[in-house]
Structure 1
Amino acid sequence: MSSKKRTIYSLLLLTAVIMSACASKKQLVSKKEDKHEVLEILRQTNNYFMEKWPDTKKPIYTTRWRPSNIWTRGVYYEGLMALYKIDPDKRYYDYAVDWGNNHAWGLRNGTETRNGDDQNCGQTYLDLYEIDPQPERIADIKKNIDFVIASGKVDDWTWIDAIQMAMPIYAKLGVMYDDEQYFDYMYKMYVHSRDVEGGGLYNREDKLWWRDKDFVPPYKEPNGEDCYWSRGNGWVVAALVRVLDLLPENQKHRAEYLQDFEALMEGVLATQREDGFWNVSMHDPTHFGGRETSGTALFVYGMAWGINQGILDAAVYRPAMEKAWKAMVNEAVHPSGFLGYLQGTGKEPKDGQPVSYASVPDFEDYGLGCFLLAGTEVYRLLEAEM
């Protein structure tokens, strides 16, 4: 090669290196900006709620008065604690501790309740105990779960929401106390819901869950399809994520939970709307279809976590996750931080309707909790890529 050609080649190579470096820098800046934008959205939506509900002991009124340690508020605090891990603002911690103190770290119906909705608050109590191990924070929830285990009864989770409300508590206690009995008992309860309750609430063919025994076949949606409620399936996604995040790698049932998670995410992916959301009724868009935020957020949570853990193929799930996250941010989040398109409480597509951008659900807290869980995992994904 001549001296002149070598010079030209060197210049071309140098230009390519510089262009590549510039492109990498641009990508890095883009990821940094995206990460910052995600965090700002989470702060915006959470600040809206904390400012609206400054008194953590204030009962909630819809059709009647309810204490503020019910499942709806418990799910919000799940999201808040996730936000605290990526954005350690002392206000978040104090707000959660104040909630626990105002309810004496207790459960709505006492230490002998078997209701997963009552137990849900225990997820946050245990998180706060890990930060500051004050005995009162853990006493009632541990006593309650020990009571359930001592009973030998495993058919409490008759509706799939309960799997998310209670199952991660068993996983957390098993890890904290290095005690297999918590892992074994939650497995028995989970398998009862999946394979026994109502003939089994999980449909392996469609890779989705029926909400409870009222919706197993021969029940059909108006279009003849099975009824798969998006938020209900979202609860199972969240339960499996939270349990898998806690279980030791060598725990004997982990592989089975992982298999169920991957299959469920396949069923979820197949039903996403073109606009990024999921319908309330996953297989019948004509039966109270339309975008819905809580189910969508829980699916984003599962996809982002699965990608972060190397469990889900990013090439397959990343586009769907990004489309769903952007759809929620652009279409559901109000300038005030209020979340639109949020279905109210219930058990099926027709409940809590109508769902629209401006509709206010009977409870605002659980929807925000789902959104915070989703956003924190999206944030982690962007942070890992920087």
Structure 2
Amino acid sequence: MSVKLFFIAAVLVSSLQIQAQQLPSKKELLTTMRLTNQYFMDKWPDAGKTIITNKERPSSIWTRGVYYEGLMALHSIETQKKKKKEYVDYAMQWGQKHKWSMNGGIKTRNADNHCAGQTYYDLYVLHKRKTPYMLDSIKASIDLMLAGDKIDDWSWIDALQMAMPVFVYLGNEFKNPAYHNRMYEMYAYTKYKHGTNGLYNPADKLWWRDKDFDPPYTEPNGEDCYWSRGNGWIVAALVRTLDALPKTDPHYQEYLQDFKDLCEATAKVQRPDGLWNVSLHDPNHYGGKEITGTALFIYGYAYGINKGILDRNTYLPLITKAWNAIVTDAVHANGFLGYVQGTGKEPKDGQPVTYTSKPDFEDYGLGCLLLAGSEIYKMKR
């Protein structure tokens, strides 16, 4: 057989294998999410306990904020009343112990610190908007950002996931488009102006993590450095923004197109095993399995299908293969998650990433998984 024919045959076999895979049942999805979440809740019964790694940090930081995003997503699809109450009680404990404020206080402009506001808002809505004190601190902090002309705070792409949804929620809640307008100004500054000519590369439809990775910086293979989880944060930011932003917003279509383009670009570089490498365009630079970027891409693809934004026939096989790979390769019997890259901003950070390696923080990886699983759960079978 010629090399060309062999390649075509291999591609066909791979395609058939992907199509042959099945998504787990809703019951199986819940079992996985309950298992991994229970592992974390058992390990951290006190939601206000400080986190100690290389230093001591309050548990209101972004890593925990992302976990609670995932927990609230799990709560939204949980079928057992007892578990739903446990999740809400755990999130309420977190908010109460931090007095519904953020790391850095009201004067903070750091998007990481604003991440907690997403869960505060979810709980506020869950309590039928009868607990306005839950929003007092986050609103006061964002209001300070609206008061001046400074729009360059989001100098790293992770910031978009941490803060953009908060601006959307506040704009909706208080019927004030100024929140939405300022959010776009800051988004556009990140996209078009930070670094050399913005952190978005329209040629590849992917994002550089921050100015340190703008050209002429390259990966060892000469390609641009596109960090998997960083681009995953953008996917999540756009999902949560599109889900809440009125379609009449003047910038809705730009967010929507950026979301479609990013999904298309990441779909092209999925690994044969269903996961994604930490470096999207250099599979040999700390290549290997990693589930946080993978989970965030799943989250985006599933949302896109659910909302009729993405083609089901194109993206469902990618979701199926990716989720099954996570469950098979990363979920331990006790609920611990392997193959989670530690905090950082590029492929070399948090290495080595293995089945048994523990990241410096165990919370955000679980949050990503719960977001992905909950969105798959909503898919029509």
Whether TM exceeds 0.5 here: the answer is yes
Quote the offset at 1:131 in angstroms.
1.4
Match of 1:57 in 2: 48
Aligned length: 353
Match of 2:167 in 1: 170
Give 1:196's match in structure 2, choosing from 179, 193, 196: 193
Give 1:258's match in structure 2, choosing from 246, 256, 259: 256
Matched letter for residue 235 of structure 2: V
SS at match of 1:279: coil
Quote the offset at 1:66 in angstroms.
0.4
Give runs of aligned pairs for residues 91-102 of structure 1, distance below 5 A.
91-102=86-97
Match of 2:370 in 1: 372
Matched letter for residue 27 of structure 2: H
Give 1:294's match in structure 2, choosing from 264, 286, 292: 292
* Structure 1 segments of 4+ aligned residues over 3 angstroms from their partners: none
Matched letter for residue 156 of structure 2: W
Match of 1:150 in 2: 147
Give 2:205's match in structure 1, choosing from 204, 207, 213: 207
Match of 1:104 in 2: 99
Quote the offset at 1:210 in angstroms.
0.2
Quote the offset at 1:135 in angstroms.
2.3
In 2, Cα distance between the equivalents of 1:255 and 1:353? 38
In 2, Cα distance between the equivalents of 1:83 and 1:154? 33
Is 2:129 aligned against 1:138? no
Give runs of aligned pairs for residues 29-44 of structure 1, distance below 5 A.
34-44=25-35
SS at match of 1:358: coil
In 1, Cα distance between the equivalents of 2:151 and 2:181? 11
Match of 1:74 in 2: 65
Report Cα offsets for 1:300-355 as digits up to 9, x if no partner. 00000000001000111111111001100111100011110000000100000000
In 1, Cα distance between the equivalents of 2:162 and 2:245? 17
Question: What TM-score comes out, normalization by structure 1 length?
Answer: 0.90
In 1, Cα distance between the equivalents of 2:265 and 2:289? 18
Match of 2:239 in 1: 241
Identical-pair percentage: 59
Question: Considering only aligned residues, what root-mean-square deviation do their CA atoms show, in Å?
Answer: 1.0
SS at match of 1:351: coil
Which has the larger helix fraction? 1
In 2, Cα distance between the equivalents of 1:374 and 1:73? 17
Matched letter for residue 139 of structure 1: D
In 1, Cα distance between the equivalents of 2:187 and 2:248? 19
In 1, Cα distance between the equivalents of 2:28 and 2:105? 41
Quote the offset at 1:252 in angstroms.
1.6
Question: What TM-score comes out, normalization by structure 2 length?
Answer: 0.91
In 2, Cα distance between the equivalents of 1:152 and 1:278? 39
Question: Which structure's CA Rg is the greater one?
Answer: 1
Give 2:283's match in structure 1, choosing from 282, 285, 291: 285
Matched letter for residue 135 of structure 2: I
Query: Where in structure 2 are there 5+ consecutive unaligned residues?
Result: 1-21
Give runs of aligned pairs for residues 321-332 of structure 1, distance below 5 A.
321-332=319-330
Match of 2:6 in 1: none
In 1, Cα distance between the equivalents of 2:138 and 2:148? 16
In 2, Cα distance between the equivalents of 1:254 and 1:207? 18
Matched letter for residue 118 of structure 1: N
SS at match of 2:378: helix
SS at match of 1:197: coil
Report Cα offsets for 1:150-171 as digits up to 9, x if no partner. 0221100000000000011001
